[in-house]
Structure 1
Amino acid sequence: MTAPRATPTYRIDPFDLRLFAAIVEQGSITAGARHIHLSLAAASTRLQQLEHAIGATLLLRSKRGVSTTDAGRTLLLHAGRLQRDMEALHADMAAHAHGVRSTVRVLCNTAAMTEHLPPLLGRFLVAHPDIDIELRELGSRDALVSMRQEQADIGIVADHVGTEGLSTRFFREDRLVAVLPKLGARSTRRAMPFVDLLEHAFVGLPSDSGISRLLHDRALQHGRGLHHRVRVRGLDAVMQLVGEGVGVAVVPLATAQRLVNERVVVRPLSDAWATRQLLLCTAGDAPPGAGAAALYGFLAQQAGGPPGR
């Protein structure tokens, strides 16, 4: 009768993961131990302890070296990711060890990410070398969900979504405009309704971008869908492809003004939703932490007042 197998503890030393990965990479326990400057006896002992903690055999030994079992291949897959995470952790902690640092988490929509924030963040980061910014683009609705779950310090969203429970203030006015290929388009600045664009094929951003979701929802309100010839990562590429005659697009006015050329026609959209206010949002009266408070104060100072006030 065989003795019952010990219950695995899954208490794994990160150094043992490094040793295991080195053994697999080098092809033998001897070479792996030498690679990380460990004696063969110590490496063998640590490997046995690792297999005991896992509760499974990780390596098959032979005269030609070692090969991984199924359990070993699974561990190796996770070991690489865990080692990268540990290296990132060490790097982040080293930054704190050399001086007090803070990271501010900011969520924003497409217009804020591409047009309004870059020049402001550049000035802020140069003036605050001890503060880092983690910037992420999300549609306004998704950004608000994350803000309410306190997954970010500051949000910048369009005012067409409900901001109940959050503290908000005006940041920028943002207008969306239609961009059409000049060939075949009427050269006029007269505003046009969004529904007229639905007769054409579109050039757009990825489907998960904030502006793409907004246009998809507005098209559905007209009982229509959007036909995209192509989706690209940036608004610069959108404008270039429209100029090539691939299709039409809807972009922020600031983008159109920055990238306009002789091959495109820019026309305002007459729909009320195309003119919106971007709002600075926090979960409370002020974001927690000195770094977040400093960035919020800087952005609020650059915002000014809402149009017409």
Structure 2
Amino acid sequence: MAITLKGLRAFSTVLRSGSFTRAAGLLHITQPALTVQIRQLEEGLGLRLLDRTPRGAEPTAAGRELARSLDPLLQELDVTIAGLQDLAARRRGVARLAVLPSVASGLLPAAIARLHARHPDLEVRVREAVTGQVYELVRSGQVDIGIATDLEPGPEFLLQPLFEDRIMAMLPPGHAMAALREIPLPALARERLLLLERDSSIRRLVDHAFAQAGHIVSPAQEAVHTGTLVSMARAGLGIVLLPSSAAEIGFVPQLAVRPVGAPAIRRTVSLVRRSDRSPPVAAVALVEDIRAVIRLGGATA
């Protein structure tokens, strides 16, 4: 006969209440059902645990020995179960996320704000990283999920597309090409360009597009942070090429913003996670809010 948690709880309740009748009421079962549970536990252990007396139910020597260990274990189990129920109900938990800088400064703050509004006790820990680093952080388990461009990473990763964005040109004040609806690549090749450093996915995408069009571009300036490049453009030092999802696109009204083409330079930004691991509940909740912000226009396709 198997020893069950139900039987152990029944035994503990009888001991605490001192009576089969009171214990059955506390457990919301009939007294005969409680008796069956105790008998099955005793048969499973091969020991008698309780004696019925005129005063109620008293533990045998074996019952007292079981009780000494059982009560702390049941209390610890109850605490653990309550904690798991909090996780399931999204009352607590941590989402660890590695994300491209453009996404971190663009749609992510609105997504985190939505998450905190719905689940105030969930935490989000963000690490900004270029695409290759995002995949490594996910692979090593240092983060639960990543947001990056596609790298054909192999079977250990599961990718789910989030949105597609387009490379945009931010023109310094008074630039003649602000009169155009779209900036041709050949025209950009003759301009002073302000580009992200070479290990960024945006830079690789831009360099590839120029190479495909027969142009080798040497930027006037390179930088790690998009904000640095935008400040340079505002000072008239050149044209910045950024993804349409970058927050800076809408924050600097004195810079004209035009799409680059044709053809358009686009990239797919995806959710990245390990294919052999399920993300924690907090990470699932964060992804829901990221997708909600995208639907509301937080990422420009």
Correspondence 1:250-265 to 2 at 5 A:
250-254=241-245, 255=247, 257-262=249-254, 264-265=255-256
Give the equivalent residue in structure 1 for 2:164: 173
Of 249, 253, 269, which residue of structure 2 is paired with 1:278? 269
Of 249, 264, 267, which residue of structure 1 is paired with 2:240? 249
Give the equivalent residue in structure 2 for 1:153: 144
Letter in 1 for 2:144: D
CA distance in 2, matches of 1:155, 1:113: 11
What runs of 5+ residues in structure 1 fail to find an aligned partner?
1-95
Moved more, 191-200 or 214-223: 214-223
Are the aligned partners of 1:177 and 1:252 in contact in 2 as well (CA < 8 Å)?
A: yes
Letter in 2 for 1:270: G
Residues 245-267 of structure 1: CA distance to partner in whole angstroms, max 9, x if unpaired?
111110122446413434x3322
Q: Give SS of 1:103's match.
A: strand
Percent identical: 24
Residues 88-131 of structure 1: CA distance to partner in whole angstroms, max 9, x if unpaired?
xxxxxxxx9xx985432212223311211111112213433333
In the alignment, is residue 295 of structure 1 matched against residue 261 of structure 2? Answer: no
Are the aligned partners of 1:287 and 1:296 in contact in 2 as well (CA < 8 Å)?
A: no
Give the equivalent residue in structure 1 for 2:124: 133
Normalising to structure 2: TM-score of the pair?
A: 0.56
Of 127, 144, 160, which residue of structure 1 is paired with 2:135? 144
What runs of 5+ residues in structure 2 fail to find an aligned partner?
1-82
CA distance in 2, matches of 1:220, 1:145: 28
In the alignment, is residue 226 of structure 1 matched against residue 247 of structure 2? Answer: no
- Structure of larger gyration radius: 2
- Return the structure number with greater relative CO, CA threshold 8 A, min gap 6: 2
CA distance in 1, matches of 2:185, 2:138: 30
CA distance in 2, matches of 1:110, 1:102: 24
Give the equivalent residue in structure 2 for 1:162: 152
Residues 152-180 of structure 1: CA distance to partner in whole angstroms, max 9, x if unpaired?
21111224x32442323232231211122
Normalising to structure 1: TM-score of the pair?
A: 0.55
Are the aligned partners of 2:177 and 2:183 in contact in 1 as well (CA < 8 Å)?
A: no
Are the aligned partners of 1:110 and 1:209 in contact in 2 as well (CA < 8 Å)?
A: no
Letter in 2 for 1:227: P
CA distance in 1, matches of 2:128, 2:161: 19
Are the aligned partners of 1:287 and 1:293 in contact in 2 as well (CA < 8 Å)?
A: no
Are the aligned partners of 2:183 and 2:260 in contact in 1 as well (CA < 8 Å)?
A: yes
In the alignment, is residue 119 of structure 1 matched against residue 110 of structure 2? Answer: yes
Give the equivalent residue in structure 2 for 1:211: 202
| RMSD between superposed Cα atoms in Å | 3.5
Residues 256 and 267 of structure 1, relative CA distance in 2, 3 Å threshold? farther
Letter in 2 for 1:233: H
Letter in 2 for 1:162: E
